[in-house]
Amino acid sequence: MKESKAYFASGCFWGTQYYFQKQHGVTKTTVGYSGGDVKNPKYEEVCNGKTGHVETVEVVFNPRIVSFEQLAKIFFETHDPTQKGGQGPDIGDQYRSVVFYLDEEQRKIAYELVLQLKNKGLDIATSIEQFKNFYPAEDYHQKYYKKTGGNPYCHRYVKRFDS
């Protein structure tokens, strides 16, 4: 089985991971940091806003079971893609909404989904950026809600696509 990867940032990575790890066909999720210029950043460095990194979830999936498009729809339906400068109460550039694409197919799908949402009248703040790096976060951040039994405080499911 050849697995694929996708990288999504939608506010606090705990909530983003919470939804993706429940998806059939997803074999692994890892929270971490993407898009910045500092190698192996620590949480405190990312929070100070000077690394350029965004809290991101690496999603490893079986494309025969779940497609990148299905995962991208989950991404857009489990956070507010119209919020600029953060997500819910989490404000700061490290919480912005981003699809980090790995190839032309992922880029095209992400742009198409943004266009569909814009055609529904939504002012989408999500950026679509070429993937350049991913650094796993500290162990205490991994599968946070599974460990604590909590629920996301700034993520909730809102149906935005017809299929």
Kindly name the residue from 9, 12, 99, 137 that is annotated as catalytic. 12
Q: Return the SS3 of 75.
A: helix
The answer for residues whose C-beta is within 8 angstroms of residue 109's C-beta and 6 or more apart is: 68, 69, 72
List, as one string, the DSSP characters of 123-148: ----EEEE---EEEPPGGGTTHHHHH
Q: Return the SS3 of 47.
A: helix
Query: Which of the four CATH numbers 3.40.50.410, 2.130.10.10, 3.30.1060.10, 3.30.750.24 does domain 4-148 have?
Result: 3.30.1060.10
pLDDT tens per residue, range 61-109: 999 999 999 999 999 999 999 999 899 889 999 999 999 999 999 999 9
The percent of residues above 90 in pLDDT, for the chain, comes to 77
Confirm whether 12 is a catalytic residue: yes
pTM for this prediction? 0.95
